[in-house]
Structure 1
Amino acid sequence: MSQLTASPSASSLVQSDWGWQGRTAGIANRNKHLLATGEHSDIQFVVGRNRGTTQTFLAHKFVLSTGSQVFDRMFHGETPVQDNGSLDVPDATPEAFHNLLCYLYTDSVGNLNSHNVFDTLSCASKYKIQLLFDLCSDFIIASLNMDNCLTMLEKAEEVNAQRVIGKCLEILDASSAEILQSDRFLTVKKTTLDAVLRRSTLTADEFIVYTVAERWAKYACQVDKIPVSSKNRRAKLGRTLYFIRFPLMTDAQLANGPGETGLLTKDELCDVFRYKHAKTKRCIPFRAKPRSAPSRRAAPYRVPTQTPTG
């Protein structure tokens, strides 16, 4: 029985006519081709007007809609956006938006790095792509250390990246004395100062917590070019003052600390001393319970926003 075989020349001729679609293995690779070439695109994005550099990306509404609820509603919802074939994305960086498109087209991000990971995380949050949000969160968590945890914490709070926030706070709890006394802590936002000093799991001595609050308030006054008075320092601290557990400080620390600087009024100072030594404890506005060692049950500071929680 004879066996039918195709001649090499005939096979090459047929395959050359199959086009890139027939020669490209895997839907991810075919989508990658569409993203790179823009073939059959039906929407373009002008990205980065507010970020110093602008780039235009050609895309496909169907692909975007299958990967993002936001894009699906944007293009196919009850009131689809009037795009006229083009949409502005002014606040994203082109690099981060390209990472987002790569993920939607191929389920992978080839250019995620320390310079663009938070911008990519922000894009994932904006377009509600949970798996990309988680991937970025994992990348950040793997790079956390004592030197960068404050910066990462503040960036993570902006997009409510709860797992990143939690890991940053774990590092901060374990090394709170070193981190709180660093120059970087002087420049943290007020919300971050509150989030840190209110924690019951800090391992730093309470006198360090007090000293850090004093330094932060003094620096804030200097930045605003106002007198570094006790009144102005208290005003800068606001409710943060009541996160300092003054009853945990020794009498010498109280006398030589807030007793000398005037951060506490004379009445407040007397109330703290009386609370420490009187048999009958009167109610004071400062907590007296010792801060405990970090545990798995310690609740991280939560940012009240409606975004993914990677």
Structure 2
Amino acid sequence: METPGLVHGEAAPFSTALRSLINNPQYSDVCFVVGQEQQEVFAHRCLLACRCNFFQRLLGAEASSGVPSPVVLSTVPAEAFLAVLEFLYTNSVKLQRHSAPVSFPLPVTGSVHTHCGLERNVCPPREKSGYLSQLCLEFVMKVLDVELVCEALQVAVTFGLGPLQERCIAFIEAHSQEVLRTRGFLELSASALLPLLRSDKLCVDEAELVRAARSWARVGAAVLERPVAEVAAPVVRELRLALLAPAELSALEEQNRREPLIPVEQIVEAWKCHALRRGDTARGAPCRRRRGTLPREHHRFLELPFK
């Protein structure tokens, strides 16, 4: 609602002027040390305090304690923090699809949710579409592709961003084979991989999923310096081994002896489905076909069609 008598000047020059103050030591009265690189970032207390309750509390506590600058925020990536400042100073932020991962809006989104509270403080509730976190999420969802989707899924799972997680899973379901071959897939955490392996809509055959799970576990084992079977334990239960043909199951069993990945009892359960010529209706999922499951002769005995 317009205020009577209130006139507006041009917004662009005003925004440009404020943008020139971002990380500008001239006239600044607070210095932040951000990220693991301990980068110095200069800012202006009054502007941060009036735009964001988080900074109002932070800078008020810092001033009352008598502790001088700099203010240390070691867990916030420098690029993300600068993007947050850009939004606070200008009410806009430049997001680029092909930036390096650390400067992409995913870390911005995480920092917003865990540190700055901008989704609650920059805009009043009725203007939710203007929250910085929401703007970043909308941008990420628009530009999702095979190379980005696993990184986005990891951020969504880590910070509890439900809509982004749903969008990422839907994208992976439609592009399963391509995504499984990406580096991002190998770098997923177990908690991010689990919802994928539980999906009936993956457009990939179970044999390929088993191979992808083994590659994922090998990478995790190397990074964490733990046994492959230990790293794989949280996720391999979601593999549907009964969908494999007897020859494939035998080959998997032999490989499992050389490099343990799957608990022996899980393989035994798969053999039971073959021996009994039926799926275990009590458990259901281990025999339920996915969208990309290739047909095999024994599937007609499972009586558990894709849902």
C-alpha distance in structure 2 between counterparts of 1:212 and 1:181, whole Å: 8
Q: TM-score if structure 1 supplies the norm length?
A: 0.67
Between the aligned partners of 1:235 and 1:91, the Cα distance in structure 2 is 29
Listed one character per residue, the Cα deviations across residues 172-231 of structure 1 (whole Å, up to 9, x for unaligned) are 1111123224455334333333332233322211111122222333344455667xxxxx
Contact 1:124 1:132 in 2 (8 A): yes
- 1:122 equivalent in structure 2: 110
Deviations 1:83-120 (A, max 9, x none): 656333333345433332332233212x4333422343
Mapped partners of 2:35, 2:269: distance in 1: 57
1:135 Cα deviation from its structure 2 partner: 1.2
**Equivalent position of 2:32 in the other structure:** 46
Bigger Cα Rg = 1
Correspondence for 2:128: none
**TM-score scaled by length of structure 2:** 0.67
Do 2:34 and 2:78's aligned partners in 1 also have CA atoms closer than 8 Å?
yes
Equivalents in 1 of 2:13, 2:76: separation in Å?
Answer: 25
Q: Classify the secondary structure of the residue corresponding to 1:88.
A: strand
Which residue number corresponds to residue 236 of structure 1? 231
Query: How much does 1:133 deviate?
Result: 0.7
What amino acid maps onto 2:269 in structure 1?
A: D
- Over 3 Å counting, the alpha-carbon distance change for 1:122 and 1:279 in structure 2 is closer
Cα gap change, 1:250 to 1:280, in 2 (>3 Å): closer
Same amino acid, percent of matched pairs: 18
Q: Which structure 2 segments of 5+ residues have no match?
A: 1-7, 120-130, 293-307
Alignment of 1:226-265 (within 5 A): 232-262=227-257, 263-264=261-262
The aligned residue for residue 288 of structure 2 is 289
Identify the structure with bigger relative contact order (alpha carbons < 8 Å, sequence gap 6+). 1
SS at match of 1:54: strand
Give the counterpart letter for 2:87 in structure 1.
Answer: Y
For 1:162 and 1:80, locate their aligned partners in 2 and report how far apart those are by CA, in whole Å: 37
The one-letter code sitting in structure 2 at the alignment partner of 1:271 is E
2:135 alignment partner in structure 1? 135
Secondary structure in structure 1 of the residue aligned to 2:286: coil
Q: Would you say the 8 A contact 2:80–2:107 is kept in 1?
A: yes
Distance 2:222 2:138 in 1: 38
Counterpart of 2:286 in structure 1: which amino acid?
A: R
2: CA distance between counterparts of 1:58 and 1:74?
13
**RMSD value, Cα:** 3.8
**Matching residue's letter, 1:44:** V
Query: In structure 2, what residue type is equivalent to 1:127?
Result: C
TM-aligned CA distance change 1:95 to 1:221, over 3 Å = closer
Alignment of 1:56-135 (within 5 A): 56-60=42-46, 63-74=47-58, 82=65, 84=67, 86=69, 87-109=71-93, 111-113=94-96, 114-115=99-100, 116=103, 117-125=105-113, 126-130=115-119, 131-135=131-135
